[in-house]
Structure 1
Amino acid sequence: MTLSYQSTLSPRLRELPTISLEELNTTAALQTRIDRKYLVPTEHFTQIFNSFDAEMHVLDTDGLQIFPYDSVYFDTPELDSYHLAAFGRRRRYKIRTRSYLNSGVSFLEVKTEGARSATVKERIPYELANRSTITQEGAAYITETLLSTGQAPPRGLSPVLETTYGRITLFLPASNSRATIDVEVAWSLLGQPPLIMNDQLVVETKSGSAPGQLDKYLWHHGIRPSRISKFATGMALLMPHLPANRWHRTLSHNMPQPPTP
């Protein structure tokens, strides 16, 4: 699969010092972190980003600064993972494969909610060819990871949703925080045409307990965190019969709408 992305942020990105993936993972891995997500019109965020004068480094690999990502999410036949998120259960999980398409690297990830709403992400390397499948090794890893958090492992996992997007990753040294900017986010139920969000960006900040510099700058410009989950929001968009009150405002005002059957 080959995907190529362009962004109105590119001119500013080319002015920033770069950081390698190895340096980023060493300096600010942040596997346990507080995530804040924002849904911002592309033009508005471009203006804000161009005026943001904090020290930033952009992830760069072989001259590439926007990386194509693919995620496949798994759930039970009853959609237990989705419903735990939809009803805001404190103990919930998310299971997906995350694939970095430019390098052919893939991981199986288990995300859980830890203390004080901190997201804890555990992952293992996974074969790219298996990204839409739970292998025997993958099933064992999921079971072990969830049992360690006191949760019963789910039964009958199968792929339910795929997302693709281009991602820009920033490192802000002063607050030891990271931020990602996702462009052209697309959702699809497996085997169906994608629903693409062209005119908005998903901005996600990842920091410790204190907000990072970009959070404060966005707040200064009237941009507040949004309830958006690529998994749950995508499922609610494409399967409108699902309960989705937690994302009602986002779904009603900010998201592309699927065509009427």
Structure 2
Amino acid sequence: MQTYTSTQWLNQVLNAYSPITLKEMDSVALLNRIDTKFVFSMGRLYSLLAALRPLYRVLSVQGQRLNHYRTLYFDTPAFDLYRLHVNGRADRFKVRSREYVDSQLSFLEVKHKTRKDRTIKDRISTPAPLDDLTPESEQWLDSVLPFDSRSLQPKVWNTFTRVTLVSNTGCERVTLDTNLVFSNAFNEIRLDGIVIAEVKLDSRSTRSPFLTRMQDERIHPQGFSKYVIGASLLYDHLKKNALKSKLILLNRMTQGF
């Protein structure tokens, strides 16, 4: 009997979707939106994708519907950005170099979570993915960060595979991230069998087939920061009491429960 890997199964399901190009997707800007995240096991993804097929298109980049991302997160020697997040500070930042592998594009990005619970993302393109900050990148970072960027160091590498669905109405995008790997110079952690889903919904829209499906499946929203989870798994000395329940859940999912 023929067996299939998770990637082969995903490709088989996604090939039944109508494609949308990056240019078409970017033509509909979701400037005022509501973002919601979910975490669930890979085993629930296949039936979910099959059920949503008539209602969404899938992003296709260079003919690929499973797109690959490579990210390097920066933090201070004392992990101040990590600590602000786990301590629940509303005014916090993430700094990362992200490579969109299939598009052959690279950006230096800053995400700012404001006191009003709004996420603002600034970015500049870079000629290649950064392994460390350059004087040019530090100059740009100093224009958007409230602290000296020279204090930042590479801390966590992250790779993952992403599926992007766009609703037929154009008012919603859904990203589905799998095959998460976190690493530093000393260790590598894989989160196999886990899906991180994020819904980006136009605030004026009143209907989301994906959110309805999540309710039907009794999958509840929960936050998930790739940097924070990756750092907590790679660096034993970091405070992680606030993440305990989430880390237990992730461990159960990777064990197939």
State the Cα deviation string for residues 126-149 of structure 1 (Å, max 9, x = none).
122x51211112112111112xxx
Return structure 1 stretches of 4+ with deviation > 6 angstroms.
none
Q: 2:187, 2:234 within 8 Å by CA — same for their partners in 1? A: no
* Aligned counterpart, 2:186: 192
Alignment of 1:11-50 (within 5 A): 11-28=12-29, 30=30, 33-50=33-50
Alignment of 1:208-227 (within 5 A): 208-209=202-203, 212-227=208-223
Counterpart of 1:164 in structure 2: which amino acid? T
Q: Equivalent residue of 2:175, what SS?
A: strand
2:172 is aligned, of 170, 177, 189, to 177
2:20–2:59 contact (8 Å) kept in structure 1: yes
Q: Which residue of 2 aligns with 1:249?
A: 245
- For 1:56, the aligned partner's letter is Y
Tell me the residue number matched to 2:199.
205
The structural deviation recorded for 1:46 is: 1.7
Alpha-carbon displacement from aligned partner over 1:178-224 (angstroms, at most 9, x marks no partner) = 111111100012x2342111211111112244674312321221001
Match of 1:56 in 2: 56
> 1:14-34: CA deviations, max 9, x gaps?
111111111111113x46643
Q: Does 1:77 align with 2:73?
A: no
Q: Which runs of 5+ in 1 are unaligned?
A: none
SS in 2 for 1:15: coil
Paired with 1:125 and 1:57, the residues of 2 have a C-alpha distance of 27
Aligned length: 247
Is 1:33–1:119's contact at 8 Å kept on the other side of the alignment? no
Q: Give secondary structure in 2 for the equivalent of 1:112.
A: strand
Select between 233-242 and 158-167 the one with higher mean Cα deviation: 233-242
Using structure 2 for the length normalisation, give the TM-score: 0.87
Which residue of the partner structure matches residue 137 of structure 1? 136
| Unaligned ranges ≥5, structure 2 | 1-5
Aligned equivalents of 1:38 and 1:7: distance in 2?
23
Measure how far apart 1:256 and its partner are. Answer: 7.7
The TM-score, its normalising length taken from structure 1, stands at 0.86
Tell me the residue number matched to 1:237: 233
Cross-structure match for 2:162:
167
Identity of aligned residues (%): 28
Q: After superposing the two structures, state which structure 1 stretch, 177-186 or 41-50, moved more.
A: 41-50
Task: Flag the 1:152–1:33 CA change in 2: closer, same or farther, 3 A.
Answer: farther
Aligned equivalents of 2:246 and 2:232: distance in 1?
11
In the TM superposition, residue 45 of structure 1 has moved relative to its aligned partner by 2.3
Q: Cα offset for 1:43?
A: 0.9
Q: CA RMSD in A?
A: 2.4
Task: Give the drift of 1:81.
Answer: 0.8
